[in-house]
A and B are shown apart, each in its own frame.
Chain A
Amino acid sequence: MDNQRCIIIGASHSAGELCISLRKEGWTGSITIVGDEDYLPYNRPPLSKTYLAGEKSIDDLLIRHEEAYVKADIEMKLGCRVEKINRELKEITLNNDEILGYDKLILTTGARPRKVDMPGTEAKNAFYLRSIYDADQIRPYIKNGSRAVIIGGGYIGLETAAMLVSTGMKVTILEREPRILNRVAAPEISQFFTRIHTEEGIELITDVEISELKGDEQISEVVCSDGRTFAADLVIIGIGVITNSELAEEAGLEINNGIVVNEFAETKDTDILAAGDCTYHFNKHYDRWLRLESIQNALEQAKVAARTICDHRQEYDQIPWFWSDQFDLKLQIAGLSGGYDNLIVRGDLSQGRKMAVFYFIGDTFLAVDAVNSPQEFMFGKKVLMQSLRLDREKLADSSIPMKEILLVD
């Protein structure tokens, strides 16, 4: 293994885990990470929150500090793009024409914001939010009294809105669908977050289509198809992501809503693996193929890939979980609620700042969305992981502690 070369494309969260996991699993060959950003792998979730607010520095965002990679003998090629994968020669070509040979190649290329196809998105005050560069460019526009229009009421939009309004900005969220979080959460959760954001002074408008971003170098107004207009000093667009799977596609690998990988994180070319947001993979627990925008998946698939490469194969088998911080609210989600046919609300959606929603198909527990309710989240996750059961009768009564709601067979 000593002379073997492993290359990771994408200096992502997944890559930060993968390179160290490879060493822990006993990989003694070289490890090179190629990334098109100038930064070591970093945590992206704070970009819409504490980093944007200026409370955290780049150093705080790093998953590991530089010394950790030096100690583990990981070579970093940052600020470089990979132009091509040549599978026959097992080589990659960089944008500076450098050619690197590999024995094992792992794609942790992640995803990028879905673009709005409309003139004006190139304006100086219009942004997407995915990278440190994006956040750095947004920061100067954060000013008390200025007006921000956020296009898209998903997690990025809501988190960013929460942060901006707390600085004294006037914030409007425009959502195309009839409710916020339409794609990712139940109506009950949308209702709860709509109330909170409205109470916090955010103007939240649903069922609205953008027709024009008005202005020259700077957008001054967002125009909707029903004629309504919203003055803007800052526009942030968060309407979902698409995977960075072009390299894999051009190399002839299978693509379907992402880079298709098996339970060992391998593509159909077993010398090429993939992990994280860029993958389309099968989830045993939910018995379906998934593309996830998830830190947990980025980390766990990276570990699976490292084990595969080091011949300690272990199947990927995870209960997905997610979180979102907005204001003083921590939303924690365990499992996937898609396809539920009934739910149980624990707590009160119409007032206060904590509650949890448990989703079921018939009697089978699927997922929990918990707001400021870490025990509901933790127990829910445990129930899913260990295939335990919940006492549905007691669940709706939030005065009964979660540990008494677990059913022991």
Chain B
Amino acid sequence: MPLVKYISHDGTTNEVEVPVGNSVMQGAVDNMLDGIVAECGGSCSCATCHCYLDGAWSDKIPPASEMEKDMLECVLEPQDNSRLSCQVNVTDELDGLVVKLPESQF
């Protein structure tokens, strides 16, 4: 099962196994990790699962939809590598993925 490394804003690191096909958001929720709120349950409606994905994996992740891009422009401290973690599904290729979490989702 792919390993995903979640790094909180304060530097706390959690490495957890996330089943292929689950979203990066679901991996955080299933492992009780703070930093991802996921109010809408993964339907790209709330932008409370914002994360920064390490650039090393960027060519292995499908690009964001227009809706997601629009929402990302409005999150707190957006960066070029910002994504909504509910829209990124874990694949075998993403084994080792590093996910940085923002200070706040609001």
Interface residues of chain A, those whose CB is within 8 Å of chain B, are 13, 20, 23-24, 43, 45-46, 63-65, 67-68, 71-72, 295-296, 299, 321, 323, 325, 330, 332, 372-375, 378-379, 382, 385, 402
Contacts of A23 in B (CB 8 A): 32
B30 within 8 A of A: yes
B80 within 8 A of A: no
Selected from B30, B31, B41, B70, the residue in CB contact (under 8 A) with A375 is B70
Selected from A20, A63, A72, A372, the residue in CB contact (under 8 A) with B67 is A372
Contacts of A385 in B (CB 8 A): 106
Selected from A45, A64, A325, A374, the residue in CB contact (under 8 A) with B70 is A374
Between-chain CB contacts (< 8 Å), 11 pairs: A64-B30, A71-B32, A295-B40, A299-B37, A325-B45, A373-B70, A375-B70, A375-B73, A375-B74, A378-B47, A402-B74
Selected from A323, A373, A402, the residue in CB contact (under 8 A) with B45 is A323
Contacts of A65 in B (CB 8 A): 26, 30
The answer to whether A321 and B46 touch (CB under 8 A), given A374-B67, A382-B74, is yes
Least CB distance from B1 to A in Å reads 12
Distance in angstroms between the alpha carbons of A378 and B105 in the assembled complex? 12
Distance in angstroms between the alpha carbons of A45 and B40 in the assembled complex? 9
Interface size classification for chain B: 20 to 34
Which B60-106 residues have C-beta < 8 A from chain A? 67, 70-71, 73-75, 106
Contacts of B34 in A (CB 8 A): 24
Contacts of B47 in A (CB 8 A): 374, 378
Distance in angstroms between the alpha carbons of A332 and B48 in the assembled complex? 14
B19-59 interface code vs A (CB 8 A; 1 in, 0 out): 00000001001111010010111111111000000000000
A63 contacts B29, C-beta separation under 8 Å? yes
Selected from B32, B70, B74, B75, the residue in CB contact (under 8 A) with A20 is B32
Distance in angstroms between the alpha carbons of A117 and B26 in the assembled complex? 41
Chain B, Cβ-Cβ closest to A322? B45
A378 contacts B71, C-beta separation under 8 Å? yes
Chain A, Cβ-Cβ closest to B34? A24
A68 contacts B30, C-beta separation under 8 Å? yes
Contacts of A378 in B (CB 8 A): 47, 71, 74-75
Selected from B31, B32, B43, B106, the residue in CB contact (under 8 A) with A45 is B43
A299 contacts B39, C-beta separation under 8 Å? yes
A295 contacts B41, C-beta separation under 8 Å? yes
Least CB distance from A401 to B in Å reads 9
